[in-house]
Chain A
Amino acid sequence: MDPIRYGGGHDVAWPSLLWHKDCGYPGDMFEGTEDGSPEEIELRIAAVLTNLPIIRSLAASIAMRADFDLDSIADLRLAVDEACSTLITQGAPNSTLRCNFLVSPDEIRFVVTVPSTSDTKPSSDSFGWRVLTTLTDHTATWVDGPDDAESPHLVHIELAKRRVEGLPG
């Protein structure tokens, strides 16, 4: 299996989130950086279905540490799983999946991208899309055309899960 690379979008790599300095104290949950801007976590991983458990665990871990309720954590986990498996199926062979989580106090936004030889968007009439829209508050998909003839298309799916109203924190 290809090596898994972790990279930070800001200058924050995800391990610093998972072992956030405040996590040992009740009430101090992770929900963004200290200046209030969203915290970004990026995972680059080989676009193969056997990697799905890693991606969904990361999704669940992020939502859990952001103190989302258990239903929302489970929903995000399923939705990320669904979105990634859709793109993995569509991706060019041997490609890398880029998963981007943006954590702000009121929502977690997830964008997943795969290079593809085709410019077809995932169908919004599919059962998989129904799954995504049921599980999240926002779903979108789009394709970026290649910059030149050599490059692949980039297919994206974006999801957002909002924090349930009335939760503490």
Chain B
Amino acid sequence: MTGTQSSRARDQERSNTGYEHLTPLFVEMAELADDEPRRAELRNKLVTGHLPLAEHIAARFSNRGVPREDLVQVATLGLINAVDRFQPERGTDFLSFAVPTVMGEVRRHFRDASWAMHVPRRLKELNLAINAASAELSQRLGRAPTPSELGKHLDLSPEQVYEGLEAGNAYHSMSLDEALSPDSDSDPLGDTLGRKDEALDGVENYESLRPLIESLPERERQILTLRFFRHMTQTQIADRIGISQMHVSRLLTRTLEQLRQGLLSDPEA
């Protein structure tokens, strides 16, 4: 990050562009008890209302090899943390607290994922080829192919297929999928939601889980629902949403991790 960019962040805080109406909500929220339903409502409003901020920060970090949508997600996570931790009675305004928090989250993401950006080109191409072949074979076979089927199809040795698959497990190669997936990412959520609550009945930490699931990005939530409550396979989900099976796999890994962390940090759970 350069000095110009952070000074622009400061400018933005001073000549605040349209978040002022949200400030009273922080004060109201701070006065409510944790279990007050109104609190969750306010929190949602605050997060949603500040989303442009997260998008703005994510945009600054784009074109560095990490997909934009990932950055928006990470920044949004940072924003949620900022909303939760902000204490209006301290007298600072939210933006001067949130901007560094959100940026910190995005930087941490880069730091954690950066090793992965040095995957050799050859492996990236191999991974792309395997992704494409896997989609084609899944269509033909009506199920996910095995590594040996992929090898036969692509005329590769098992070791080459393994290499390509392993390259796909590395988190970074999200960006590979960016090249593959169409812009429109899913069919309407309508039919996957609604039934979610019912499906979750009987899960003991339901109360702590529900807000965590609700705070997931729409696509992650859809994938989670389809896999664990509709029992669709990853290949079926990939087909339905229009991304690769490997991408589904990575999103699920990450989503489950997030839910676990959320449950652990919840004292009620």
Contacts and interface: CB of A to CB of B under 8 A. Distances in A.
A97 interface: no
Interface stretch (B50-58, B77-85, B142-150): B142-150
Contact of B146 (A78, A89, A134, A168): A168
Nearest to A123: B204
Contacts, number: 107
A169 B145 contact: no
Contacts of B204: 123, 125-126
- Of A77, A127, A128, A134, most buried by chain B (CB within 10 Å of CB) is A127
B169 A60 contact: yes
A123 B186 CA distance: 34
Given A123-B204, A134-B227, A71 B144 contact: yes
A10 interface: no
Interface string B185-222: 00000000000000010111100010000000000000
Contacts of A75: 234
B249 interface: yes
How large, as a class, is the contact surface on chain A?
35 or more
A70 interface: yes
Closest 9 CB pairs of A and B: A71-B144, A70-B144, A125-B204, A74-B249, A69-B144, A71-B233, A67-B146, A69-B146, A127-B203
Interface of B: 134, 143-149, 151-152, 157-159, 162, 165-166, 169, 200, 202-205, 209, 227-228, 231, 233-235, 245-246, 248-249, 252-253, 256-257, 259-260, 263-264
8 contacts: A56-B253, A65-B147, A75-B234, A77-B169, A127-B200, A127-B263, A131-B228, A169-B146
